[in-house]
């Protein structure tokens, strides 16, 4: 006999116009923003990205949603436009921030405030992501491409800062790797678990296929402590499985982790199990284990609002100097103001219902 389940028809949804937003477009950094952050690994990583682009190898960026909250959208978009990122992987919160910024020019709410009143996450327009996924899955698309298409082709006033919309336009995959129940859109009456799973698993297979071109490539992990390293690890195992059958190897590539956790200078060696940092997956997975057969890894500690623009500036400097060197022999690589959507309902009188479609219609 099945256990009792929560009846989502009881939920009261409210329009985003009723929410107090913690972040607005003011946090979006322009490309010309000066940077003071420096790190000796940045010029090396910039060079590796340029080399990987030249040889057509994977240039993958794994990221947590805080990278978007840090206002780095224009840097990510420009790196994609220049071919320096060939795939972005993010968790389920990433598309939510991207959608809300594109739609109303604001995102993020106070968990402490809204969970106390039972309002956290239950905003009508944000639930439109679920409707976009239904349409995307129907057309055979994954999570990232479904949302990117909806923003790119819909009436989103600020789509110019949407990473997913620009990726859709450029044909750069954005893969979204979710956990059911992790994200606010899973609270909504129109959330369909099968659709969510299908969309995200499609993205996992897209990611795994892309990993097959990692030899001579680059993997950058910005602030993803679990999703990034775990998805990368499984996909790399799949890709190497096939490569070994074909007499090939995926071993010579560069990885880098950008995070706040302080690591020792000897970060290319795994921490002992007695050290709590052993359980920091980016260290043991991205910096040590997966590059042990001929790759090289780097760790950069700093705030994403500083480190990602600093990497962009490092690439910019090399290109302006004409230093886009020929790819090295990979077999010898070392080891080692905000306008909310109009609503006719007051904030305290929104009626529970299963939304038909919260997605803005496509522009004519």
Q: Within a domain: residue 362? A: no
Listed in sequence order, the residues at least 6 apart from 241 whose beta carbon sits closer than 8 Å to its beta carbon are: none
Q: Tally the domains of the chain.
A: 1
CATH of the domain at 176: 3.40.50.10690
Residue 258 confidence class, pLDDT cut points 50, 70, 90 = very high
Q: Within a domain: residue 32? A: no
Residue 27 confidence class, pLDDT cut points 50, 70, 90 = very high
Q: Mind listing the pLDDT tens digit for each residue in 223-239?
A: 999 999 999 999 999 99
Q: Within a domain: residue 352? A: no
Q: Within a domain: residue 79? A: yes
Q: Within a domain: residue 4? A: no
Q: Within a domain: residue 164? A: yes
Q: In this structure, what token pair is assigned to residue 346?
A: 């007051």
The pairing of strands 254-259 and 218-222 is parallel
Separation of alpha carbons 269 and 266, rounded Å: 6
- The full DSSP string for 215-261 is TT-EEEEES-SSHHHHHHHHHHHHHHHHHHHTT------EEEEEESS
Q: Within a domain: residue 346? A: no
Q: Which residue has the tokens 């402490």?
A: 112
Q: Mind listing the pLDDT tens digit for each residue in 72-98?
A: 999 999 999 999 999 999 999 999 999
Q: Within a domain: residue 198? A: yes
Residue ranges making up the domain that contains 280: 12-23+37-333
Residue 344 confidence class, pLDDT cut points 50, 70, 90 = very low
Separation of alpha carbons 135 and 198, rounded Å: 12
């Amino acid at each position: 006999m099945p256990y009792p389940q929560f009846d989502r028809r009881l939920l009261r949804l409210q329009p985003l116009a009723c929410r107090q937003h913690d972040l607005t477009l003011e946090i979006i950094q322009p490309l010309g923003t000066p940077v003071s952050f420096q790190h000796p690994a940045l010029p090396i990583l910039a060079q590796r990205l340029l080399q990987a682009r030249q040889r057509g190898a994977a240039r993958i960026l794994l990221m947590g949603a805080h990278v978007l909250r840090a206002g780095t959208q224009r840097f990510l978009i420009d790196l994609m436009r220049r071919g320096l990122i060939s795939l972005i992987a993010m968790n389920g919160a990433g598309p939510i921030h991207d959608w809300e910024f594109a739609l109303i020019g604001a995102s993020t709410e106070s968990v402490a405030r809204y969970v106390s009143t039972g309002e956290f996450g239950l905003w009508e327009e944000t639930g439109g992501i679920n409707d976009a996924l239904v349409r995307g899955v129907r057309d055979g698309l994954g999570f990232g491409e479904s949302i990117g298409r909806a923003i790119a082709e819909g009436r989103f006033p600020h789509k110019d800062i949407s990473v997913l919309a620009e990726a859709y336009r450029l044909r750069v995959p954005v893969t979204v790797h979710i956990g059911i129940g992790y994200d606010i859109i899973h609270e909504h009456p129109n959330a369909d678990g099968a659709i969510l799973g299908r969309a995200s698993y499609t993205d996992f297979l897209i990611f795994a296929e892309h990993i097959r071109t990692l030899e001579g490539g680059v993997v950058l992990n910005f602030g993803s402590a679990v999703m990034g390293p775990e998805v990368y690890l499984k996909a790399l195992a799949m890709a190497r499985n096939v490569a070994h059958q074909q007499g090939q190897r995926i071993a010579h590539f560069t990885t880098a982790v950008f995070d706040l956790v302080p690591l020792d200078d000897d970060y290319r060696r795994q921490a002992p199990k007695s050290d709590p940092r052993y359980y920091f997956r980016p260290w043991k997975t991205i910096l040590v284990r997966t590059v042990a057969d001929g790759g090289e890894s780097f760790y950069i500690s700093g705030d994403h609002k500083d480190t990602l623009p600093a990497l962009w500036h490092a690439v910019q400097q090399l290109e302006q100097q004409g230093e886009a060197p020929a790819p090295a022999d990979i077999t010898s690589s070392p080891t080692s103001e905000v306008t909310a959507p109009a609503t006719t309902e007051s904030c305290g009188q929104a009626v529970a219902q299963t939304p038909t479609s919260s997605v803005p219609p496509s522009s004519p």
